[in-house]
């Protein structure tokens, strides 16, 4: 699966501070990676309609069993509401046993700096 490009569900006002969230998931097995991929379209649709979502992207390396996410939100509360609702919540719970390693990073950024580069994501998750 190629990288899902930066998608902007809701354009943030210029010079606004946004809440950036990045994650790295490594599954235990190739089967776990396939399960992750199977859930991706439903969660991606949820992101595109999520209140407070300013942008999102996914980089998938399924044969390495590794997935990277990047998103920007109006606030930490908007991110939490997304994560605890819709398709994301049961999908995440269903995949938890498949995970070998999970890392998260959050930081404030200017809306003018979106999207954040994958190099910056990797640096923050290192």
At 74-112, the pLDDT tens digits run: 999 999 999 999 999 999 999 999 999 999 999 999 999
- Cβ–Cβ under 8 Å, residues 53 and 18: no
Distance CA 19, CA 7 (A): 16
Element (H, E) at 74: none
35-74 residue pLDDT tens: 999 999 999 999 999 999 999 999 999 999 999 999 999 9
Query: What CATH number is attached to the domain comprising 28?
Result: 3.30.70.100
Overall domain count for the chain:
1
69 and 58 Cβ atoms separated by less than 8 Å = yes
Question: 82, 53, 57, 88: which is closest to 70 by C-alpha?
Answer: 57
pLDDT at position 1 over 70: no
- pLDDT confidence band for 2 (50 / 70 / 90): confident
Q: Which domain holds residue 104?
A: 4-125
pTM over 0.75: yes
């Amino acid at each position: 699966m190629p990288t899902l490009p930066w998608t902007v569900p809701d354009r943030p006002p210029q010079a606004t501070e946004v809440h950036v969230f990045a994650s790295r998931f490594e599954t235990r097995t190739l089967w776990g990676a396939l399960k992750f991929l199977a859930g991706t379209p439903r969660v991606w649709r949820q992101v595109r309609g999520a209140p407070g979502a300013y942008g999102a992207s996914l980089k998938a390396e399924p044969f390495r069993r590794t997935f990277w996410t990047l998103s920007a939100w109006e606030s930490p509360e908007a991110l939490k509401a997304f994560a605890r609702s819709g398709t994301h919540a049961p999908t995440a719970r269903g995949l938890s046993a498949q995970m070998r390693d999970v890392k998260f990073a959050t930081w404030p950024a200017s809306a003018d700096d979106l999207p954040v580069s994958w190099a910056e994501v990797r640096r923050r998750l290192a």
